[in-house]
Amino acid sequence: MNADERRSHLLEQFVGCWEKLDGFSVDASLDTLASQFATGEENQFSEKLWRPITQATDPSMLDPL
pLDDT, residue 63, reads 82
38-39 vs 48-50, strand pairing mode: antiparallel
The model's pLDDT over 45-64, given as tens digits with 9 standing for 90+, comes to 878 777 666 778 887 887 88
pLDDT, residue 22, reads 59
Q: Please tell me what DSSP assigns to residue 40.
A: S
Helix (H) or strand (E) holding 25: strand 25-26
Helix (H) or strand (E) holding 17: helix 3-18
If you average pLDDT over every residue of the chain, what do you get? 77
Which ranges of 1-65 would DSSP assign to H, the alpha helix? 3-18, 32-35
The partner residues of 26 in beta bridges, in order of sequence, read 48
Does pTM surpass 0.75?
Answer: no
